[in-house]
Structures are given as C-alpha cells and as structure tokens.
Structure 1
C-alpha cells in the first residue's frame, strides 16, 4: 500500500497549481499561466470563426469594439488585447473565451435598448475574463481527470464521468451561479468606472426575463413543453438571486460619480437597419422553406423539423434530434459527374443501393454507406460545386425510419425563381417615432413574421408584456 501511494505522488503533485486572482484578490486553483491562457483563447477563436459567422457590418463591429474597450479599460486585466465581435446569429447570447475574446450575438443586440445595456453585457463577459472563470473551470476539470487517473491506478476503479469538455460547456451554458454573480459584480464596477449607469446591469436582466417569459408563452402556443434556453450570462443567476444582484450593483453605483451615461439614441441609431432574425448573407428560413440568395438555392424542411445554420454546413434534424441530415457545399476542381465525385469521396468504392438521377438541371447520385450506423449519401452537381448530403440516425437507430424524410429534403433543393428573390431578403429593424393617437396594435400589424406580433413589438422595446410608449418615443419595429 505504501509503495502504491509513492507511485501516485508524481500525479498528485500536478494538482498543486495556485495563483492570486487579479480581480478578486483571492487565491485560486489554476493550472495555466496567462501566456497559456492567451494561446488557448487564440486557438478557441479560430474554431469559433469556423462555426459562427462574423456579422458583415464593420461600422457596427467598430462601435461594439469601442464600447467594449471603454469598459475593459477599467477592468482588473486592462493589459489584455480584448477583441469584441458581433456574431451574425439571431440567438440571444453572448460569451467570452480565455485571453480577452468576447462575442455578442446580433440577436441579443436587437433586444437591448441603450449603449449602457450593451456595455453591461460586455462588462459581464469582461468580468468572466478578469476573474479567469474559464481557466478555473478547466483547471478543475484537469485536476479531476488527473485525480481520476490516480484513483484508477491506486484502486483499479476508473474515474466516474468525463470532465474533459467542461470549458466548452461553460462557454455555452454558463459557469454556475457563484461565478455568474461574480461576473455581474465585476461588470457593474467596470460599467460605473467607464461612466455608464450601473443600473443598466439590472435593466438587461429585466430584458432577459421578459425574453424567457415570451419564449415560454410562444412554446406553449406551439404545444411545446420546454421553452428555448436564453442567454447564459446575467440571466443564469436570476431570478433566484435578485437581491444579491441589486447588492453588487448598489455597491458599484458610487463609482459612477453621479448620473451615469445611458446612450439610448446613440445605440438605436447604430442598430437601425440591422437584420432581425436570419440574415440575407447566412440564408433565411420562412416557415418550412430555407432560402439562400448568395448560393442560389431553396430547401424544404419537414413539418416539426429544426434547422441549424452554420457557416460550414446546414443541418436539418427531427424534432427529437435523433435524425440529422447535413448539407455542405463542396468545391469541384474540374468538371465531373456526380458519380465521379462520389468515387473521389469514397476512394473508388460504389455506394450500396446507388442510383443516378436528374434534378432541377443537376446531375445527382444517391446511395447508402452500409454498416451498424448506416448513412444516406446524396450528391447534386452544379457546375464547379457539389451539394453534399449525409443523413444519419443517432444511437444506432435504423436509417429506414428517417430515410424518406432525408430524400424529401434532398428532392426539394432547386435554384431560386425570380419571384422568390424577395423571400431570401432578411427582415430588418427600423426606427419609428411614436405619435399621439397612434397604437401599438396598428404598428404591429405592419410587421412581418409569425407568432404574436404585438407581443414581439413590446418585447423589442422593453414594454413586455403590457407596457405603453409615450408620444415622441423612438421604437424599434421590424420591416
């Protein structure tokens, strides 16, 4: 037993990494230097660039960078090279990765109402960076993996659970209530020191609470039991910790030296004309169809199926997320048939049940890659590019159950017609000044889209669920 313990010592020594947290002054357990943290962030940023499209409005990107830098300048790690990026996505989210890379989704910006609220979101994410939350999470994960190895060697019992993906999961879903509240408090400090009204931190939480209420109501109207999850950050610690949030904001308020800046008009002018929902560049879903003007195609989506639009692929999935069809566009170096392209992909092997066909002027081949997890493969050739489809069912499910749906989607692909070009255009936010005698009901009737448009209009303008604007107020509408 003593010999076994001595064998464990080299592993256990690796668990002894500690450093003083620059934001809190407390000693944290970390297993990464700042240089390593910056390098890790650089690698993550490259992966994010592949998965999330950058919003193609450099004027807005520069504005967000200026606001973010103004807040970060007053943080505990102001020496970092902070990069603030707007992601071209309708999702309600923002996140930070190690080393000072901070991202905000265009979808969240649509519901914010002032520069101070934007600064509050960015300040919260800066708080995650300055407190090294991602590094602390990964260090804990690494420690548990090393400890698990030690337990396995010492007792013959493998470590329970796989903690290797803790950092990636935290970026998407949050860091837990204590870390999120810590980021709230740090963000409020930075907000106040930068000259913004720290109450914007609470206003953002109210915006996000309304967003959750709206999403829950919309889900209920569609017969869904679970509402979509919202922004992980500020919202993740509330409403249970409202009192604690107000305490950390109150503690930061004296730092503002009086009335902090709000910047509502400035912010609204910046987002005037911004796409709402899907963007033209990334492709637009309208009901059960997906339109992409740049790539000139339309694709049908089965009723009840979902769509994930990534820069590198389009993923259509069943409601239970067990069946997936992935479509990508592949460049073709020289003119070739669909069958020749398949041979190139498979190293010269034919697909099982292979069939050739013609579709909307395109040469097509369909077949199956056999095996315990069989996959449907389809190629449609269009000049020097190929539509490549791969369909599969998770957890060893039978391909036959989903295959008719896969082929239904493939068969729907065709070029856009002249009268469909307008359908591929994004909806956009526009500013209108509310006039005396005007009604929100009439304004909402002029808005496109599905669902309760009046409730959506109120949600966009911080009036959810029953608020009313005053004459002269500027409102965001969708056109």
Structure 2
C-alpha cells in the first residue's frame, strides 16, 4: 500500500458498450454475436492502462522489461491478431499473477516473474494471456453479461479474484472469465509458446507451482467463489496438450532455465517493506509510519493502494485504504456515495489519539433496470459494512469490515479490534526494513535441494517456501554447478 492511488484495483467504468453485431472470432473462425467492437476493445485497453499503472506501479528493471518485450512481440507476430500493437509490462506486486486487458495490454507481476524457473514457463503464461486477447474473451464475456454490466475485464492466469458479492464495494465490477475461456486460453498458450520455439510442457509444470501456492495460500486472500479451473487439473490437461502438439509437430523446443534465472537475479521477492509488510500477524507500513493487527488465521494481500484481509472461508473481508475528502465528514459521505451505501449509524471517536469517525452502513438496493425483475434484499444477500475513518499523518485512512447482514454480528468484534489497533509505528527495526531479493547461486555439491539451500544458510522456516520458488521438492536431487534460487537482502 502506498500513497495516493486509491481504491479501484485495476477497475474502472468504460462507458456505454458499442454494439458491433456479428463478427468472426480470430481464433475459432466462427461468427458470433458480440456487443463490443474491436475498436471499443482497443479504446478500453487504452483507458485502463494509465489506471493500472497508477494503481499498481511499474517494476523498474530494464533488462527484464526488454526480455518480455522481445518475447511478447515475437508471440504477437504469430498470434491470430498479428497487427495488434501489443504492450507488455511488469507491475510492482508480490502476488503471483498475470493478466490482460482488451486491446493488447499484458501485465506480469514481479511475483510471478520471481516464480518462473525458465523461459518456457514464462512463454506459456504469455501465450495464455495473449490468447485471452486474440480469442476476444472480453467482448464475449461482456456480451454474455449484458449491456448493463460495465467494467474492465482482467484475464488472470492465477489468483486472487475478488468476490462477486463485494465487487461493488471495492471500486467497480470485475468480470472474471469463465472456466471455458480459461481452458481455451491454456490451449492457445500451448500453441503460441510452441510456435516461438518453447517447450509447452513447462507451462504445465508451472501450474504445479500454482497448485502448491494455492494449497498453502495463507498469505493470499481466499476467494468467495472461483471461476478458474483447479491448477492441478490444468497441469494435467496442459501437459497432454503440449505432448500432443509436439507429436504432431516434432522439433527442438527450448526451456532455457539458466538464462532465465540469471535474468531475475536480484529481483525483489515478496512484499516490499516500503509498501508495507506483515510480521507476527501485524501489518507494518514504514513509509506511512503506522501499524495495524491482522486477525489470527486470516489470509491477507497487500497491493500498492490497499491492504486486504479475509478469513479462509471467504465469508468476510477487511480493507485498509486511503479515503477521499479533506475532513472525516467529507470522507464519510464519499464512502457512502462511492459504494452506494445507506448509513445506519455514525459516531465520532478517537483511536490511539487520532480523530476518527465510525460508521455502520449497508448496501443500497440496486437501481431497477427497465424490464428486469427487482431482486428482494435479504440479510443473506445484502452486504453490511463497519467503517472506521482515521485521521493520521495528514491523511485519512479508511478501515472497512464487510460481510453479509446475516453474519455481521459474528464478525463485528473482529472488525472493531483491527480498527482500534491502528496506531503509529516507531520501531526503528521495522521502519528501516529492507526487501528480500532473489539471489541465484550455483549448487556447491551433489545432493538434495535442501542440502544445497542449507549450504547457503537459508533458514529452516524458509525451506518449504524456497522449494516452491525453485519449482522442486526439498528431496529432489541437484548437481554441483546447477543454478538455484536463494534469498538475500
């Protein structure tokens, strides 16, 4: 989380959809009815890109950026839309993810770049994302959702996806691609990465890495519901697709492990402390000089503009971000207006010496569209929020706790405990914390991955994490001189 890119995590309204009628899909060759023209897709991407950059930030690494540009342009040239002006960017997020927006914009987080173990894994995911664009999944999904649904569609290879039940409360509407579209993009990714000379079986192995991350995702916001196929299932299917492709098209397919590892030597790994980090279930922000507790056994996700937390069953969520407005009262009105909420109660208070405003509100009934039946609001489908607006350091912070009305009382004390734990950060060790960086080292002797990591004095509590980072098991055999990932400052 950093100042002052607020709310709207890669989300923005795009205006009225253009009706383009029947058009031929570049990938399938079939005619289909779509409500978004190619020109509108391009305009959508052009409109979304500045917001994405402002919200997430770009990761500055010229050599790595040059690499993804070269590979991306090569793949774009053999894609089903070779004349599209593709753009490729690395965004400054530790989350393991890649996504695309209409019009040729493809993004990789530094988190996913750190987890790739060779160029072929990267190429497979690159092909998957370009596949979302060339197969016009955005236009097809917009058509399926209807003209009344507005929003930039992100095609993500990994996770997390925001909950449909609270989408309107975190900025705008995020439309996830369907499982069928994800599966189609996997198949396209196999073809595209193979055509530029990479072994697509490595793409399958990367889904194995995603499966391990998913199984141990205590640090990732759990989903209320997922539209993505299970990574383990995708690993099996992609492996079969890649094998079938190579049987039909025999040739030499590259992996380029060492070349890729050398490219990411020194990349920041995990949370960048200056943007905030969690330690012993406390969120610290050295740059903004505050700290706040994280509920026990809750998952969390930090992005440049907000910090999110949720229990593993996904039935509630908390968000810390910056509020708009010059006063607490203005900020409160902005929250109600921005998220279409009805205020139930409001009270001024102080939190650890900081002026604060506490509000309880609920989701307002949606506007009824002509010809559409009005869905009745019930405690089970109506979101209720507790919001603490805290004035600190010349800024106003918003701490939102949200769940459905039926379960609000269950989480109310947890919400309150987190908000009232917001306080100034004065610990010099936390204020001066440096980020972890990946350091590529050569194995010193034949043996297991665990032994090789121990030779470089990697801590015992990092061993499992490092095995996932290396795409291996701790008892896998390594040989002297082999390159592996370690962590350092």
**TM-score (normalised: structure 1):** 0.73
Q: Distance in 2 between matches of 1:111 and 1:174?
A: 26
Q: Whole-Å Cα distance in 1 between the matches of residues 144 and 229 of structure 2?
A: 20
1:311 corresponds to which residue? 304
Which residue does the alignment assign to 1:328? 321
Paired residues of 2:22 and 2:33 also in contact (CA < 8 A): yes
Q: Which has the bigger relative contact order, CA under 8 A and spacing at least 6?
A: 2
| Separation in structure 2 between the aligned mates of residue 378 and residue 443 of structure 1, nearest angstrom | 48
Alignment root-mean-square deviation, CA:
4.0
Partner Cα distance (2:34, 2:282) in 1? 48
- Residue deviations 1:25-53 (CA, integer Å, cap 9, x gap): 44444443321221233344455446544
Partner of 1:290: 283
Q: Aligned in 2, Cα 1:388/1:87: closer, same or farther, shift over 3 Å?
A: same
* Greater shift in the superposed pair: 281-290 or 241-250: 241-250
Give the structure 2 partner of residue 111 of structure 1.
115
Aligned to 2:476: 467
Partner of 1:427: 436
Residues 80/416 of structure 1: CA separation in 2 closer, same or farther (3 Å cut)? farther
294-303 vs 369-378, which deviates more? 369-378
Answering whether residue 73 of structure 2 is matched by residue 74 of structure 1, we say no
Q: Is the 8 A contact 2:124 2:202 kept in 1?
A: no
Cα separation, partners in 2 of 1:285 and 1:252, compared to 1, 3 Å? farther
Deviating more after overlay: 261-270 vs 468-477: 261-270
Residue 206 (str. 1) matches residue 205 (str. 2) = yes
Instruction: Provide the secondary structure at the position in 2 that maps to 1:309.
Output: strand
The alpha-carbon deviation at position 407 of structure 1 amounts to 2.8
The aligned counterpart of 1:412 is 421
CA deviation after TM superposition for structure 1 residue 370, in Å: 6.0
Cα-to-partner distance string for 1:214-238 (whole Å, 9 max, x where unaligned): 643x47x99xx99x98986987644
**Which one of 377, 382, 407 corresponds to residue 397 of structure 1?**
407
In 2 relative to 1, CA 175–287 (structure 1 residues): closer, same or farther, beyond 3 Å? farther
The reply on whether 1:120 has 2:124 as its aligned counterpart is yes
Query: 2:331 is matched with which residue?
Result: 345
Does structure 1 residue 33 correspond to structure 2 residue 37? yes
Note the C-alpha offset of 1:437. 5.3
How many Å separate the matches in 2 of 1:117 and 1:324? Answer: 33
Distance 2:134 2:230 in 1: 15
2:177 corresponds in structure 1 to: 170
Partner of 1:89: 93
Note the C-alpha offset of 1:303: 0.5
Equivalent in the alignment of 1:180: 185
Q: The residue matched to 2:468 in structure 1 has which SS? A: helix
Match of 1:130 in 2: 134
Counterpart-to-counterpart distance in 2, 1:461 and 1:133:
32
Match of 2:373 in 1: none
Shift of 1:202: 0.8
Please, which of 359, 363, 368 is the counterpart of residue 359 of structure 2? Answer: 368
Q: How does 1:379-394 map to 2 (within 5 A)?
A: 379-394=389-404
Written as runs of structure 1 = structure 2, the 5 A alignment for 1:272-283 is: 272-283=265-276
SS of match in other structure, 2:347 = strand
Residue of structure 2 in register with 1:7 after alignment: none
Does residue 447 of structure 2 align to residue 447 of structure 1? Answer: no
Number of equivalences = 418
Deviation track 1:38-85 (CA, whole Å, cap 9, x = no partner) reads: 123334445544654433444433332222112212223221111112
Bigger Rg, structure 1 or 2: 1
* Per-residue Cα deviation, 1:246-299 (whole angstroms, up to 9, x for no partner): 213444554xxxx44443333212211112222234322223022222222222
CA shift at 1:346, angstroms? 4.5
SS at match of 2:245: helix
Q: Is the 8 Å Cα contact of residues 86 and 104 (structure 1) preserved in structure 2?
A: yes
Contact 1:141–1:166 (Cα < 8 Å) also in 2: no
Distance 1:296 1:49 in 2: 24
Equivalents in 2 of 1:428, 1:247: separation in Å? 38
Local SS of the residue matching 2:176: helix
- Cα pair 2:322 2:398 within 8 Å, conserved: yes
- The TM-score with structure 2 as length reference comes to 0.72
The gaps in structure 2 that reach 5 residues or longer are 1-17, 150-171, 337-342, 363-378
